[in-house]
Amino acid sequence: MKRAALIIFLIVLVDQILKFWIKTNMMLQENIPMIGDWFNIYFIENKGMAFGLEIEGTYGKLFLSLFRIFALGLIGWYLRSLILTKHSKWIITGMCLVFAGALGNIIDSTFYGILFSASTTKTVAEFLPAVGYETLFHGNVVDMFYFPIIKGYFPEWLPWVGGDFFIFFRPIFNIADASISVGVVLAIISHGGFFEKKVKPESSDEELRLSENGISSDIKGEITNQEQ
């Protein structure tokens, strides 16, 4: 339980420290190249789910925030049951990553609207302003990792998208999003037994003795049947 709590705490801490720095030091849509043209810190905010997906409207945002909290409760319950039943450390680690990522984004959507002023393309947000940019449960999630690794045009012969410009990888995400994605993959792989060691069944003393004498267990069975 302590190990799980430590994993969750560290991921949420790093996620929130980076988001706080982004909010209070960068203007909206500001870009900081990190490694060539394919890794950038590019500040955007989204009102919805991971990788910029969102549900439109005020009530849609409220529903999404409340649904996230409900889902977090279910994930926490499932994680606790895995720990108590002493499941594989890999699936527990995966669910810890999912829980931490979900919690990190919930903090944004629940509290950032009242903790910060609005980020714009001309101004940096202020922490603890007299009035926040939104109400409780209506905050925006801070995203910053942008990896436009491949840029080019689709071949002309492709239907619908032929000749169109494309970027891979286009979605902009944060540490919480990455934690959820890695956690889901890890949980799925570990659930399928990928990390489990296959244990060879132990042979009985009688089978070992017969094997040493060059007699298989099948032959032993035939001899026993003949004697009967």
Catalytic residues: 143, 177
Backbone phi and psi for residue 216, each to the nearest 5 degrees, phi listed first: -80, 165
Biggest distance spanned by C-alpha atoms of the chain: 95
C-alpha distances (whole Å) from 187 to each of 2, 75, 226 are: 19, 12, 52
Specify the DSSP class assigned to residue 130.
S
Sequence-ordered list of residues with C-beta below 8 angstroms from that of 142, at least 6 positions apart, any chain: 19, 22, 23, 43, 45, 108, 112, 174
Angle subtended at Cα 144 by Cα 58 and Cα 98, rounded to the nearest 5 degrees? 75
Residue type, 25: N
Question: Do 45 and 121 contact (CB within 8 A), yes or no?
Answer: no
